[in-house]
Structure 1
Amino acid sequence: MKLNLKNPIVFLDLETTGINVATDRIVEFAAIKINLDGSEETQRYVINPEMHIPKKTSEIHGFYDEDVKDSPTFKEVARKVAKFIEGCDLGGYNSNKFDIPLLAEEFIRAGVDIEMKKRKFVDVQTIFHKKEKRTLEAAYKFYCEKDLKDAHSAEADTRATYEVLKAQLDKYPDLKNDIDYLAEFSSYNKHADFAGRLVFDEDGDECINFGKHKGRKVKDVLDSDPGYYGWIMQGDFPLYTKKVITNIKLRAFNK
C-alpha cells in the first residue's frame, strides 16, 4: 500500500555506542526519504562518535573503534542530515523513545538549531506492539513474510521498518493511511520533550513527569522553586529536556 502523505516522511535508524539517550553517540545514520510522488532518496553515514564503543555494543552492530576512527564526526555531517529531513515527518522503529531523542541531542551538540517537535512521528514499533507485540525481525517475518537479513545494520533495519509499515496498512483496515493518525496512534503519551520527562496537560501546558513535582506545571515549579532550574541544568538530563525548560523559563521572563 502506498503511504498517503501530507509531507515527505523520512524513516531513519541509528546504530550507537549504547542506549543512553543523554550520553551515547551515533555510530551509523541511515535514512530513506519517501517523497509525495512515491520516489525515494537515501542517506547514510558511518560516524566517529568521539568516544569508545563498548565491545558488547560492537558485537551487536559490527562497528569497532578502529572501523570509525577516520569517519566524519556528527558535527561534520549534521547540516547535511538536517537538510535531508527538512520539512519532513519522521518514522522509525522504537524511534519515539530512542532514535529521534538521540538525534535531537546530537543536533544540539553540533550547534545545529533544528525544530523537531513540529513534525509528525510515526513509530512502527509502537503500532506493532499495540497489534502484535514482537521484535523487528518477527514483524518483518509476520507482515512481509521475509527473513530479515543483516539485522542491526541500520540500512537493512530502516528499509525493513518502511516495508513493515506499508504491510501494516494493508493488514489492518482500521489503521488509517494518514500520517497525522499514525503519529497519534504510535504515541503513548503527549511528551513535551523526547525523554518523557515533560508532558503536556489538558490545557497544553508543559508539566513535570517525574520526581517530587510530578504533575505540576513547569512554569509554576520554576516560579515557586527558583533552584529547580539550576538543578536541572547541572543534572544528567538530556540536552533537549534542558532546552525545553529553558524556553519555558524565557517565555515566562518575556511576559
Structure 2
Amino acid sequence: MTQESYEAFTASWARGPLLGFDTETTGVDVTRDRIVTAALVLRVPGASTEVRTWLLDPGVEIPAEAAAIHGVTTEHARAHGVAPAAALEEIAAELAAHVREGVPVVAYNAAFDLSLLDAELARHGLPTVPDRLGHPVAPVLDPLVIDRWQDRFRKGKRRLGDLCGHYGVTGEGDLHSADVDVLATLDVLDALVRQFPGLAEMALEDLHTAQVGAHRDWAESFNDWRARQGLAGPGASSAWPVEPVGQPA
C-alpha cells in the first residue's frame, strides 16, 4: 500500500464504526422461514467491539437440517428463546438507530438477512427497517458482493468459510453461530480493504451504489449461465441489499 493510499485508508470509513449483522434461521426462504438467532456487533476499529445476541422461539418447528447447521433445536428454542415480536423489535430498533447515525451495516449475503428481517417484522405487524428510516437501508457493505466484484474471475466457492480461508482470517468459535459469523464477516471486510485499498478511498454512498451494480451484473451473468445449462428454477435475484417485501407466509 502506498503512503497516499495508507493515508486515505486511515481517514476513511474503514476506520470508523461498523455494525455487523447476521441471522441463523429455519431455512433459506426469506418469505417463509424464521429467524432463530441474530447478532449485532458494533465495532470501532482499534477501540472496541460490542456484541449483542438474541435467541428466538420462532413459533414453528426448526427442521433437523437447519438445526444441524446452527445447533439450535426446536426444543432448545422453545425452552430458552424469547418471543419473536419482542426480539425483532429490539433488533430492528437498534439497527435503524445506528443507520440514522451514518454507521454502515456489514452483512455477508446481506440480501438474505436484511430481507428476512423485514419479512419477519411484517409478519408480526412491526415496521420494517426501511419504514423506520423513511428510506432504503444504506449504506450496506457486503463482503460477498465486494469479493465477487473485486476478484471476479477467481475460481472456487465463496461461502464465508471459503473467504476466511482465502484471506487468512482466523477467529474463535465455529461458523454458523450468528455472533461468530458477524465477527468473521467484519474481519473479511477488513482483509478486503487491505487487499483492495481503493475501497477505502470511496465514499460510502458511492461504494453502496457500486455494490448494487456489481450484484446486478453478477446475478444476470449467473442466470445466463443457468439458462445455458438448462437449469430450472428462479435463479438469482438482482435485488440488493434488500428484496422487496411481499406478503410473508
* Between 108-117 and 142-151, the greater mean CA deviation after superposition: 142-151
Query: Shift of the alpha carbon at 1:167?
Result: 1.1
What is the identity, as a one-letter code, of the residue corresponding to 1:127?
Answer: I
Q: Answer whether contact 1:29 1:46 (CA < 8 A) is retained.
A: yes
What is the identity, as a one-letter code, of the residue corresponding to 2:245?
Answer: Y
Q: Answer whether contact 1:94 1:124 (CA < 8 A) is retained.
A: yes
Q: Answer whether contact 2:58 2:84 (CA < 8 A) is retained.
A: yes
Spell out the pairing of 1:14-29 with structure 2 (5 A cutoff): 14-29=23-38
**Which structure shows the bigger proportion of residues in helix conformation?**
2
In the alignment, the residues of structure 2 paired with residue 162 and residue 10 of structure 1 have an alpha-carbon distance, to the nearest angstrom, of 9
Query: Shift of the alpha carbon at 1:92?
Result: 0.7
In the alignment, the residues of structure 2 paired with residue 74 and residue 181 of structure 1 have an alpha-carbon distance, to the nearest angstrom, of 35
Structure of larger gyration radius: 1
In the alignment, the residues of structure 2 paired with residue 189 and residue 103 of structure 1 have an alpha-carbon distance, to the nearest angstrom, of 23
* Between 63-72 and 8-17, the greater mean CA deviation after superposition: 8-17
Q: Which residue of 2 aligns with 1:56?
A: 65
Which SS does the other structure have where 1:151 is aligned? coil
Give the count of matched residue pairs.
Answer: 197
Q: Answer whether contact 2:118 2:129 (CA < 8 A) is retained.
A: no
Identity level (%): 25
- Large movers: runs of 4+ above 6 Å: none
Q: Answer whether contact 1:124 1:186 (CA < 8 A) is retained.
A: no
Q: Which residue of 1 aligns with 2:245?
A: 240
Q: Answer whether contact 1:137 1:147 (CA < 8 A) is retained.
A: no
CA deviations on 1:139-189 (whole Å, 9 max, x unpaired) are 112223437740111111110000110111111123234432332233347
Q: Which runs of 5+ in 1 are unaligned?
A: 192-210, 212-237, 244-255
Q: Could you say if the C-alpha distance between residues 189 and 174 of structure 1 is closer, same or farther in structure 2, counting changes exceeding 3 Å?
A: closer
Q: Answer whether contact 1:14 1:154 (CA < 8 A) is retained.
A: yes
Q: Which residue of 2 aligns with 1:179?
A: 204
Q: Answer whether contact 1:137 1:148 (CA < 8 A) is retained.
A: no
TM-score normalised over the length of structure 1: 0.67
* Between 25-34 and 173-182, the greater mean CA deviation after superposition: 173-182
CA deviations on 1:62-88 (whole Å, 9 max, x unpaired) are 111011003112201222212321142
In the alignment, the residues of structure 1 paired with residue 69 and residue 30 of structure 2 have an alpha-carbon distance, to the nearest angstrom, of 18
Q: Which residue of 2 aligns with 1:81?
A: 91
Spell out the pairing of 1:159-170 with structure 2 (5 A cutoff): 159-170=183-194
**CA RMSD, 1 decimal:** 3.0
Q: Which residue of 2 aligns with 1:134?
A: 158
Q: Which runs of 5+ in 2 are unaligned?
A: 1-8, 131-135, 217-233, 235-242
